[in-house]
A and B are shown apart, each in its own frame.
Chain A
Amino acid sequence: MKKIFQKFILGVLFFPLSALTVKAKGEVEVLHWWTSGGEAAGLAVIKDNVEKKGVTWKDMPIAGGAGTNAMTVLRSRVAAGQPPTAVQLLGFDITDWAKEGVLGDLNVIAKAGNWDTVVPQALQKFAKYEGKWISVPVNVHSTNWVWANKAIFDKLKIGPLKSWADFEKAVNKLKAAGITPIAHGGQPWQDTTVFEAIVLGLDNGVTYKKAFIDLDPAAQTSKEMVKAFERLRFVAQNLDPSFSGRDWNLATSMIINGTAGMQMMGDWAKGEFGKANKVANKDFLCFRFPGTQGLVTFNADQFAMFKVDAEKAEAQKILAEVVMDKAVQAQFNQLKGSVPARMDIGNEGFDACGVKGMKDLKEASQKNTLFGSVAHGYAVPANLKNAIFDAVTAYFNDSAKTAAQGADDLALAIKNAK
């Protein structure tokens, strides 16, 4: 109490001074949809550091719709000629906006900060457009994780799941023990998150790359792809009855509560375990989806920098530098459950899953097995992404469809959306 009072007095004393510096450095307006626990905590790190440098932070949170609502606001702001300073964006959405010619040019800071060498190549493809840095990546999430309840796995003596056969065995054991084997939320992006992990695990990512990155129609209907759909059916058959429409974090809480065995979800799920005071490798397990060790499908949050007036440019520059700051990225990612977008940050302070995530990312980046995630807009643009959602989710929810039909529908949907 006394401390707060002291702070208050100090604040009053120094108010005119801080007001002056604010005026000198300007303000940044940041549009984002990070409103849930871990996300908001991570964002606060960036905000505090920006404010420390004398820049005012104007927060513009637009919750809901997995960013769709935020995009609608962004559209109207850009159309009115008043874009925010920075916008939290994903993958091909950044490219889409760059094509409209509304993003800025960060090459000067990028060169000074040596971004070209510290950011993985696969990410640069999205953070740069026509040779210019247009956005600042703050983290890398990988989506091919499995989260499991350790107590249940120990009790049923389920060992590490290295192959699909191990996975099937584990599911059957869980089922026999009367536990829902897989916690899942029936939403198109979640269905596709599971599906992309299955495809990635088929053959070390060969089919994944051909079908979803190179968009080769032959790979989309190949024997391997049919196999992936068969495996997806196995997953769909081992859920609880009320999975439809469930949010991902509710599925995660099924793992936390021990009503389900495992969940396939990106590493933002770790934030939920953290909030419930669960510890990695003690209360829950994190491992790569069977067959995908050494491979990573990623989803990276970035701050796309919009073209702003000269008076706002200084503040924008400071924001960009703060987001790329080593200490900020380390702290941010420990809170959000992801790993830093910079590859030159030590793993001190990260939990077991975070350390593994950083190691896997480095390995995948070196081996060229770091692929953009389909479900999160890093493999294909929004129109194709949603076409893939349509095909995958229609198959997932219709048990009468055969795997071959699923693959044909997938190829057709991609062809139609092109």
Chain B
Amino acid sequence: MGLARIWGYALAGLEAVPVRVEAHVRPGLPGITVVGLPDAAVREAKERVRSAAANSGFPLPSQRITLSLSPGDLRKEGPGFDVPLALATLAAGGHLPLGCIDTVGAAGELGLDGALLGIRGALAIAKTAAAQGITGLLVPAAVAPEAWQWGGGLKVWGVRTLAEAVSVLRSPEVAAHVERRTLRFSQRARARAGSSTAERLDMSQVAGAGQAKRGLEIAAVGGHHMLMLGSPGSGKTMLARRFPSILPELTLEESLEVTRIWSVCGLHPPGDALLRARPFRAPHHTASAPALVGGGSFPRPGEVTLAHRGVLFLDELPEFARDALEALRQPLEEGVVTIGRRNATLNFPARFRLIAAMNPCPCGHYGHPERECTCTAAAIAAYGGRISGPLLDRIDMVIGVHPLREGFLEQGLVEDTSASVRVRVEAAVAFRTWREQQLRAAEPARGAAGRAESALVAMAAHYRLSGRARSLLAAFQARAAAGARAVSRAMRLARTIADLVQSEEVAEEHLAEALVLRNRDHLHRDRW
């Protein structure tokens, strides 16, 4: 009888924070008290702990049990504390040798029968646990493969019941056995994840739309954002859904990042090891600003963070609420979302590719070769005007998607498959990485001289513009009176296009293509 300690984990944003869980059994009126800012779900744990312990054959002593969670000023949320609370109580109640769980971490929800149920954020917890350097982490078997992926020398025990957890802690033999079992399961789950990327959606299923496909390919290489403009039924959604199939595979590092986010949000299916497919998120246009960028009093990541390293598809862009669209500006530019709250400011990663789609006018038929548009000029302009200038500025490509003209399907066009596009994309990305390394190596040599150059000249040198490309750029600036952001964005786009043909120099034709893809006139802002 006495005092026992174990580690538990609270989720704050995308990170897990270690929480000391203590149990003290002392004489007094029988009862359990939980202190240390527990939320309702944590407070309810005492009922589950009592029943689960009894049903696992470990009756709790009829004495006063005090459970404490520290640091005391951190709000603890969710049912993940059931297991550490139960184990600490059992240790304090004499069912486990005292002191044997001091350097063990545990997380999981309990059923009344003593079964361990899955929790959110297993990967985040494993990351924190590995950094702590504890002896081992006890998690429900359902999420063990996920927790195991973190590696970092962390021992992971995936257990199914409270009784099994107790025997793992009591006997080294059982512990070793459970550890091997977890390893086997996890490796199998990982292999399964690798093979499931073979998808049914393929670019070759979309006929025509060559320019839009080209835009997607460029977006895939350079991480650019793109807006598709076209009548209903022209294939905008089909194209967007197939975009992930041409993206390069997630690296292990990226995969861990994405899995951690999805798992914290409770979207990672239990039993799966890692997410290998790029995320594709398509929130409905009624989504609110917090739903898109994240928020809430326990801040949760929004759609942009779920789309991290993947694709955010916004269909019917002008139908989204204005404040929701404006909230996208920060993540579009910086790749992170900052959410400020009274007690903390959280940063959620949000490096996604935005693919947006919209009709050219309210009725959708403006510019359609056969259908008649019934909108007034003012209505068309107002429709395009719902997308604010600053937001549009951050979208690199505006591309018209057109319905196929009749008789086109019979011509039997051969379209590129996603696999062949992906080969090109991956080659371009590899070239880009190599080029950037070269650039970084050469940078210090230019450093001092570079300071005197005007920003534009420096940029031209950075992007390696050819002479003819420079004169084209000058012509563009003179004609369009283009601002600095427009110019630098156009150059970035041109750089990506040059990467696609693995050219170290940005030539005239690359810049010319970039200027066409960036052209916003299609939205009729001031044309009429």
Partners in one complex: no
